[in-house]
Structures are given as C-alpha cells and as structure tokens.
Homo-oligomer: A and B are copies of this chain.
Amino acid sequence: MHEPLLFKNRTNATSQTAIVGANLCPIQSLDYEVIENDLFKQDWRSRTEVENFQYLVLKWLLAFLIGLGTGLVGCFNNLAVENLAGFKLLLTNNLMLKDKYYQAFAAYTGCNIVLAAVAAALCAYIAPAAAGSGIPEVKAYLNGIDAPSILAPSTLFVKIFGSILGVAAGFVVGKEGPMVHTGACIAYLLGQGGSRKYRLTWKWLRYFKNDRDQRDLITCGAAAGVAAAFRAPVGGLLFALEEAASWWRSALLWRTFFTTAVVAVVLRGFIEFCHSGKCGLFGQGGLIMYDVNSAYPTYSVPDLLAIIFLGIIGGVLGSLYNYFVDKVLHTYSIINKKGPPFKILLVITVSLLTSCCSYGLPWLSRCIPFSAHLPVPDQCSTLGHRSGNYKNFQCLPTHYNDLASLFLNTNDDAIRNLLRSGTEKELHLSTLFLFFVAIYCLGIITYGIAVPSGLFIPVILAGASYGRLTGTLLAPVLNLDVGLFALLGAASFLGGTMRMTVSLCVILLELTNSLLMLPWLMLVLLISKTVADCFNKGVYDQIVKMKGLPYLEAHAEPYMRSLVAADVVSGQLVTFSGIEKVGNIVHTLKMTRHNGFPVIDEPPFSAAPELFGLALRSHLLVLLKQKKFTIHRTMTGPEIMRMFDANDFAKAGSGKGIKLEELNITNEEMEMYVDLHPITNTSPYTVIETLSLTKAAVLFRELGLRHLCVVPKKLGRPPIVGILTRHDFMLEHIQKLHSHVETHN
C-alpha cells in the first residue's frame, strides 16, 4: 500500500493539484474483512434459505466452470503450440534434408522472430501485465495485493496467445507458469460474471462480488492452472496450498480438488480425442508425461551419495540462477521502461540469440547411428510429415544428431528425451554439458522479456541435463537409471530455484506415475532447498519483491518484537464525524488516498468522542453519488437504508468503481451534511497501541485485513491513534521510522 506513505503528510494546498488527476493508485490492497455495517446486517437478516442454497450451488458451478475453462485452454494451448512449433520444425527439417542449410537457418530464425515479435507486440501494446510467469502476481493477489489489470480480460487474452507464440518461437520458456496465471484470470472473469452486460449473471453472482469469494475462486483457478500444465490434480491442489495461497480453509480444499479433477478429466478426454489423429501435429508431446516407469528405482549407497551431490549442486546452481535472474530483470526493466518498441526489440534480440544457439550448437555434435541404441528408430526419427523426437540434422537418415534432438525440438520433447530410461548412450556427455550451459544461460536472459514466460520448463531442462550428465558420468558405479537421474536433477534444480517442496514432489510423482521414486525425490528436494535457502530467497519471492509488491509473510519478522503497534503508526490521521459535511468528505477524498476513514461520534450524539467504526472510500463514493444530503446535522439512517441494498456496495471490478470526478457535487451541496452511520463498519478490528508489533502483524495477516485500527490505552485521548495498513508492516517503512531496528534475521 503506497497510499499512506505518499499522502499521509500532505495536506497543504500546494500538493493538492499535483495529486488529483494524477495516475490512480497503482496498487490496491484487498480487504478480506466482512464490512459489518447496517446495510450488510439488513441484507444478512433478509437472506433466505433459497439464496443460501443458490450461493452453495453457484460456488460449485463456478468451481466446475473454472476447471472446464482452464482445461479447455490447456488443450488449446498444447494443440496450438504443437502445431505451430511442429510446422516450423518440419519446414526446417525438410530444408535440411535437401542440404539447404542456410535456407533452413533462415526459415528457422525467421519463423522464430516473427512469432516472437507478434508475442512481444501483443504483450507490449495490449497487456504489459501478461509478461513473465504470472505466478508471483497470482501469489501476491492471493496475499491481498491487487496489482493493476493483473487479472483483466486483456491480460488473459495476451497470456494465452502470447504464451503459445512465445513457446512456439523456441524461447527457453514454459507454458506452465502462464497456465497458472491463465487459470487465475479465468476464475476472476467467471466470478465477475464476464461483463456487466449480463444482468442475469450479475444477480446470481452478487454474493461473489467481494474479495473473500474472489480469493477462493482464484485459488481454485491457480490450482487448475497447475493441474492443466502438468496433468497433476493432486499436485495442482498442493501447489495452490503451498505456494500460491496465503489463507486456506478446509472447505476450500475440497472445492479446489474438484476443480483440478475436472481439469484432469477434460485433458484426458482431449488426449483420447487426439489419439484418433484429428489434432494435426499434436502427438504425445503436448502434455508433459514422462513415462520413465519402465525403470525400476533401486536404493544403494553410491546412488545415495550421487543424489546428495545432485541436491547440493541443485541448491548452488538454483540460488545462482535466482541471483542472475534478479540482475537481468533489473537490467531489462530499465530497457522495458523506454517504451513498447524497445520491449519488442529486446524480444527480437533474445529470439535471434536463441535461434543461433539452437541451430548453431548442434553442428558441434557428432552423428550417431540409429540402430545402435534406439529400439524403434522409425518411430523416433523425423520422417516426412511426422515430427519425431530424434533429429537427423546434418546427418544421414540412418543417423541422428543428439544435440539437435534436444535443441531443435519442442521443450516438452527435449525433456522427454532427457528423461528417457534405458538409453545410457543415447546422449553424449559433451552434448549434455553444452546443452546444460546453453539452457542455463538462455533461461536467465529470457525471463523478463515481454512475453509470457514460465520458469518450470527452463529449470526442468537445465536440471534434467545436469542430472543425466551426472548419471552418465558415474554410470559404472551407479545402479539407478540415467533417466531417473535426469528426473532427480530436474527436481534438485526446481527445489533450488522455486523452493517449493511438497507440491513439486507430488507433481513429479504424478508425472512419472511411480511412487517408488518418492524417497529419492524428497531427499534431493530437501537438500537443494536447504542449501539454496542459505543464499537467497525463492525466485517467485524475489520477483514479488523486485516488483515492489508489499507481500505479507506468514510469520512476523524478529525485529518486530521490539516495537509496539503505535511505533509504526505514522502520518496525520483523517477522521470523519458520524454526520459529516459533504464538502469535508469530498475534500478529504481528493486530498488523500486513504481507503479507510475512522468515523467518530461526537457530542451531542454521544457523551464523549468515541469510535463508531470505519468507513471505506468506495462506500463513501456510492453514498455521495446518491446525494441523500441534509441541511442540518440530522440522522437520516433509515432513509438511506431504504435507498440502498447491499448490492450497491458490492466490490466493483478493477477500474469500474465510481470516480470522484463523476460526482458533480454543487457548491450548495458541499455545505450540506450526510449521515455516514449506515455505511460504517461498526466492527473493525482494533488493537491497543501498546500491543507488540509482532502480534499486530500476526493479527493483520491471519485475518486478512486491510485496515487495523489502533486505539489508545490511556484515557483522555482521542478515541483512535491511527490505522495500520499493509504498508506499515513493511521493513522499508519501519526502517524509516526506526533506523535502529536490527534486520539481520
């Protein structure tokens, strides 16, 4: 929350003009508190059993629709990527077969650049919020931070098509992160009823027009996204639980699982449909499913040592990766700020570099005859219109180029090649090393360009290649299959970068469909996460921090213990009287960007000034718009109650709320009074000023508040000391006020 920081102390006339009309508050907080004002209570009392039942049915219907929508988008995504990339690869391959190497390079690079440029243009001009993974933003949203247009329909559109184009353009990016964001966008749109046009939907959805229900829907959406990306319903659920959601309820667990199961069913149906050959170039490749079952995991001491080594390597490489990603993101943000053309230029540059790597490096590799190690060459090689997993590249049709089989393939197929079991000599050591270095570097420089780009795939690719490298190197002393080593390498690198553990473990289990790998996977994840945590934070947390999103951690920081709530309350407090002058309200709303205003009852309405409650900016705007003003200070509560129902105060979609400028209040009206009692939340949470900041932070976070009133301990003072918002718990703010606090922890 930047608003209190910027505007709390600015009440002098000079700063007014600068503020009003300036760019509207970029980041809003979400409010998970129930606003218990008179209107809410009236509405709550009149709610019937039928309405409660409707609400329940609708919740499940929405969960189903989120699953269906995300599942279908997942299918479309895979279909489009496989066909676009397949067409590109076939074109290149056919030119190569005719020995037209330069034309092949031109065709390959040209396709890539065109696809990349379109993706970048979409992203730069239509929805800049669609760039990147989207997981950090969804995570921040579920923590209570409403970054602008992060879940808007335009973002959804660009996320889907940008992701398809980006992946098809051969970037070292995945479609998994964007799927999570897509799922969240779909959930948000469904909760909003799509658009205001549909009056019917609106009425049904009125109970969902609040941040609490939106949060539940988006949690379902994020889980559905993971489920769609990995075909892992339980993994999706656990991802939402472990990484995405900040709050969790047992009831939501079941609804989320229902959503992810719907996704699983949709994907299953899609694959069965595609088996009949109606999906063009879409084969087994689109949806990740690593069939390494054939290799039976064993447990021996050399394997154990090798796996511990993998875990340590994964932790070190992962934290290094995060470090470089952070640096590159900072650099890119400077370039990206210069405007859309620069964004597109950057994307084209990275695309050119990626194409050169992909096409150039395989020349360093030797040709390997098919018959030697591959069991069914005709199913694997690329012939005619089929795009197989093994590429001839410059070799004879009876040979394949192993590096080309990794580079000149979709990322999913490359992963499948790396994880394949029982094929120790299929990929050379040098190939694996080259591929690892290239992917590691390309992954770092690719994240942050203006295309939707997931991090899972680059990380899995790099991890699997060094895992397989280790497995191949140590093959004489190891019992475990190299394919399984590749899987463990991927796990170690995922653990080192993302620091998720349970959900990754379950996702990888579901992908490989082999419970026997569980102990090894847990071990490697545990080690890599522990090692990496010594150096820096997880990549998503880093990105959240870099984007300046005021994320509230679940635990209070140690330095908070030495402070009390009153220590971090800063700036001037603006309060309203129970019956307030219209002019005062309008002026205050113009002058500040506060979103909550304490309402104080003063004599003659009470014996002494006392806190009546908290009024929200959005509610004040709705109240002012109806212009139910009086000339004198009189209670007009019942009349106001008749004029409104709770619907009018439902949360508007982002950017759709009433603007202060729309109000058109005359000068006479400015001198009149309005009764704030009916819209004031009479039960805001309060803390006494001497409560330790730790406990205030825990309260604020656990209850998902936006405002926390600080009340005085001693008598004879105004009834409220200040309001704590999300921003007041941020280290930067606290350090400004108390430079002595120790933050070494």
Name A's B-contacting residues (CB within 8 A): 34, 36, 41, 44, 233-234, 237-238, 241-242, 248-251, 253-254, 257-258, 261, 264-265, 268, 501-502, 505-506, 509-510, 513, 515, 518-519, 522, 526, 554-555, 561, 564, 607-608, 610-611, 682-683, 685-688, 690-692, 694-695, 698-699, 702-703, 711, 713-716
Q: Are A34 and B695 in contact (CB under 8 A)?
A: yes
Extra inter-chain contacts (6) besides given A607-B714, A698-B703, CB under 8 Å: A234-B509, A241-B241, A253-B502, A257-B501, A685-B695, A686-B691
Residue from A44, A257, A510 whose CB has the most chain B CB atoms within 10 Å: A257
A391 to B426, CA, bound (A): 53
Q: Find A505's partner among B257, B268, B554, B687 (CB 8 Å cutoff).
A: B257
Q: Find A608's partner among B234, B258, B268, B714 (CB 8 Å cutoff).
A: B714
A519 to B260, CA, bound (A): 10
A691 partner residues in chain B, CB cutoff 8 A: 683, 685-686
Least Cβ–Cβ distance between A591 and chain B, in angstroms: 29
Least Cβ–Cβ distance between A375 and chain B, in angstroms: 25
Q: Are B715 and A608 in contact (CB under 8 A)?
A: yes
A716 partner residues in chain B, CB cutoff 8 A: 715
A264 partner residues in chain B, CB cutoff 8 A: 518-519
A254 to B529, CA, bound (A): 11
A526 partner residues in chain B, CB cutoff 8 A: 258
Q: Find A254's partner among B501, B513, B515 (CB 8 Å cutoff).
A: B501
A506 partner residues in chain B, CB cutoff 8 A: 234
Q: Are B510 and A513 in contact (CB under 8 A)?
A: no
Residue from A44, A237, A688, A699 whose CB has the most chain B CB atoms within 10 Å: A688
Q: Are B690 and A688 in contact (CB under 8 A)?
A: no
A715 partner residues in chain B, CB cutoff 8 A: 608, 610, 715-716
**Nearest CB in chain B to that of A500: its residue:** B254
**Nearest CB in chain B to that of A506: its residue:** B234
A268 to B298, CA, bound (A): 12
Q: Are A690 and B695 in contact (CB under 8 A)?
A: no
Q: Find A702's partner among B233, B555, B702, B713 (CB 8 Å cutoff).
A: B702
Q: Find A250's partner among B519, B554, B682, B686 (CB 8 Å cutoff).
A: B554
Q: Are A502 and B702 in contact (CB under 8 A)?
A: no
A44 to B238, CA, bound (A): 34
Least Cβ–Cβ distance between A214 and chain B, in angstroms: 18
Least Cβ–Cβ distance between A198 and chain B, in angstroms: 28
Least Cβ–Cβ distance between A94 and chain B, in angstroms: 39
Q: Are B502 and A257 in contact (CB under 8 A)?
A: yes
A713 partner residues in chain B, CB cutoff 8 A: 610-611
A343 to B128, CA, bound (A): 72
Q: Are B258 and A44 in contact (CB under 8 A)?
A: no
A694 partner residues in chain B, CB cutoff 8 A: 34, 36, 683
Q: Are A714 and B261 in contact (CB under 8 A)?
A: no
Q: Are B690 and A687 in contact (CB under 8 A)?
A: no
A515 partner residues in chain B, CB cutoff 8 A: 510, 513
A254 partner residues in chain B, CB cutoff 8 A: 242, 501-502
A695 to B708, CA, bound (A): 13
A510 partner residues in chain B, CB cutoff 8 A: 515
A233 partner residues in chain B, CB cutoff 8 A: 518
Q: Are B253 and A241 in contact (CB under 8 A)?
A: yes
A607 partner residues in chain B, CB cutoff 8 A: 714
A522 partner residues in chain B, CB cutoff 8 A: 257-258, 261
| Interface CB pairs A-B, < 8 A, 23 | A36-B561, A36-B692, A36-B694, A44-B561, A237-B502, A238-B253, A241-B250, A242-B253, A242-B254, A248-B248, A251-B554, A254-B502, A510-B515, A513-B515, A607-B714, A610-B714, A610-B715, A611-B713, A683-B691, A683-B692, A683-B695, A702-B702, A715-B715
